[in-house]
Structure 1
Amino acid sequence: MSEPFDPWQDESGPEHAHVPWHVQWRSTMIAALVFATVVGIVVYQRDHRSQSAPLTTSTSTTAPGVCGTPNQAITCFSQSRIIRRGDRGEDVRRVQQRLKDLHFDPGYIDGLYGGDTIMAVWAFQGVVMKRSKDVMVDFVTPEVWDIMRGDVAISPRRQPGTPQHVEIDLPTQTMTVFQGQKLLLVTHISSGTGEQWCEEVTIDPGEEGNKTKEPIKKGICGEAKTPGGIYRFYMRKLGQRESKLGTMWNPVYFNFGLAIHGAMQVPAQPASHGCIRIPIFISEYFPVMVKYNDRVYIWDGVKEPEEYGSQPPPWDKDDPNYTTTTSSTSTTVPSTPRTTVPKVTVPPATTPAVTSTTAG
């Protein structure tokens, strides 16, 4: 059967011939069908996209970046808890890895939030967050993690002519090492307490105050101050050293016996006799990062280093009350060979025995 034909009469005729309803409304029906088809395609595509790529909501305050790339924002993972000493987990491992990528040293990346990682977190708070030693905390909040995984840039405050230089900031208890504009290391430190002290000290040959070939003991009084100013490295020693300022590990000297050296105890607050303590595991490689005559800048929070120049530390003096004599009731302890472990002082038998270790 052929398709229906529209039998229009000639326009001169009195009227048109009868037109069936399906013919009369055909154009309208076709238009409606086309519209419905287009709408159906759009709805299908939208629903298909929704099913294949579910909508995600990010709680991060940082811009998107490449996960795990040094100096880029890590937005792959958020943090839902406060990480405290002794905590374990993948979030701890991410904190450690991020600190390592940014040239802090958290120690082993093992997922355990311990002392080495806490010292690196202190340094991060000081250098990046500009927190002073008085407001630093031992834990990592989600807010601190968001800053840590964001875009972090650490630039030198000075650009001297030496290949490397060190910047020490006493208010934040931090130290940064640069090679030109390139950041090599950021670490927590502990500097001089500013207090007066009098102690019996052991001084190894070659240290300030001992020009002999044997260790000597004497009573010394001094002021535990780390002066601000500009200095240069002039000497280094390998291993454990005993000086007027205490026990040092791999010291690199910059100011009349003051040195940057490793120590077993590097607390959040100043604790030394004037030296710059760094974590002992960092002191294993720090000395090879710098050379003789490389410059050291120290900010004390009062003046710029250039305003001080190269001021010496406070001069120590002999303790007027020190004596090497002992009473007849004292017990003599046989001497033992020197070892590389911290020394143990045994007092006279008439008093309780106390073990003490003093670092510079």
Structure 2
Amino acid sequence: MRRTVHFLLIAGTAVALAVSLPLILAHTGIASPRSSGRPAPASGATPQPPKAGAAPAPPRWPTLRLGDEGVRVEEVRRRLDRLGFSPGSAGSGYDPALRVAVWAFQKANGLPPVDQVDLPTWRALARPARIRPLVSYGGPARVEIDLRRQLLTAWKGGRPALVTHISTGNGESYCKKGHCGVAVTPTGDFRAWWRTAGWTTGPLGEQFYTVYFNGGIGFHGSERVPRHPASHGCIRVPLHNAKPLFRMIQTGDQVYVRRPERDV
């Protein structure tokens, strides 16, 4: 018997009605990576080998890497954007902005951040983990910084509005242009107190759209946001997320910095 999948769009959510097929992805038209989407052969039928000389069918869930283009990359981009992991401006290519969005999504879903959309990532895109708050008493507009996972979540109206990969203090001693210290991002409860738009230059380098919340420590856009802690203490944010984050967070908004022992 041939299986049929119907999609019904209700209030911006795709609902899949199928025979023994799970509800997988919203809005993207992506079926489950656990199913080929092909009808099962009739009972007792013998599978037929491919015709000689026929080109093999492309994988339904290909591994996507930096520089790739095409429909699947576009689907990943749209899916991440809807989930709050901004991949930057619209486009079809797997560019550096999409790569750091994939890192953030992977970390938020308990996966190691890797330079590809692999099968575990496809499965997580199908059934993403719920973003849980780091603090139970935070206000509706706040920033939460997870030092262990290197993730920043901006909350608006009590909902996660932007989740981004970050790079925080590396814990090393430094001296640069007469400014010495230890590269630590302290934990605690803070409030945004000073905001600088555009590019600014300080003793430790250039910063893009900075929001300070703990003396001279703040979160800002940077051209270098590696997968490991690498800053002098500030929270580096990918450039494409710096300006939207700056607009979301106003003076006086709460900023919570934590180092949880495990995923919340």
TM-score normalized with structure 2 length: 0.76
Check conservation: 1:170, 1:298, Cα contact below 8 A. yes
CA deviation string 1:167-190 (max 9, x = no partner): 111111110011243111000111
Q: Does 1:75 align with 2:31?
A: yes
Cα gap change, 1:63 to 1:174, in 2 (>3 Å): same
Distance change in 2, residues 1:112/1:291 (3 Å)? same
Instruction: Point out where structure 2 has 5 or more consecutive residues left out of the alignment.
Output: 6-19, 37-59
- Kindly indicate whether residue 74 of structure 2 is the aligned counterpart of residue 93 of structure 1: yes
TM-fit CA distance, 1:152: 4.1
User: Aligned pair in 2 of structure 1 residues 130, 152: CA closer, same or farther (>3 Å)?
Assistant: closer
What does residue 230 of structure 1 align with? 189
Distance 2:82 2:164 in 1: 13
Structure 2 letter corresponding to 1:300: R
From 246, 259, 262, the equivalent of 1:300 is: 259
Question: Which AA in structure 2 matches 1:228?
Answer: T
Secondary structure of the residue that 2:114 maps to in structure 1? coil
Map 1:274-289 → 2, pairs under 5 A? 274-289=233-248
Residue 197 of structure 1, CA deviation: 1.0
1:135-156: CA deviation from partner (whole Å, max 9, x where unpaired):
4211111221121122542232
Give the Å deviation of 1:250.
1.1
- Distance change (3 Å), C-alpha of 1:252 and 1:117: same
Cα separation, 2, equivalents of 1:130 and 1:55? 33
The reply on whether 1:189 has 2:169 as its aligned counterpart is no
Offset from partner CA, 1:81-130 (integer Å, 9 cap, x none)? 21111111111111111000101111133221121111011111111x22
| Contact map agreement 1:260 1:277 (CA 8 A) in 2 | yes
- Deviation of 1:259 after TM superposition, in Å, equals 0.9
**Alpha-carbon offset, residue 292 of structure 1:** 1.7
The one-letter code matched in structure 1 to 2:151 is: T
Whole-angstrom distance in 1 between the partners of 2:85 and 2:24: 21
Contact (CA 8 Å) 1:88, 1:112: kept in 2 or not?
yes
Structure (1/2) with the larger strand percentage: 2
1:118 corresponds to which letter in structure 2?
R
Q: How many residues align?
A: 223
Counterpart in the other structure of 2:110:
130
| Larger relative contact order, structure 1 or 2 (CA cutoff 8 Å, min sep 6) | 2
Percent identity over the alignment? Answer: 37
- The C-alpha deviation readout for 1:243-265, integer Å capped at 9, x for no partner, is 23321111100001001111111
- Segments of structure 1 that go 5 or more residues without pairing to the other structure are 1-49, 201-218, 304-360
2:252 partner amino acid: N
Counterparts of 2:231 and 2:21, CA distance in 1? 39
Query: For residues 57-76 of structure 1, what are the alpha-carbon distances to aligned partners after superposition, in whole Å with 9 as ceiling and x for unaligned?
Result: 9xxx982257417xxx9537
Query: TM-score normalized by structure 1?
Result: 0.57
User: What secondary structure, in the 3-state scheme, does the structure 1 residue paired with 2:179 have?
Assistant: strand
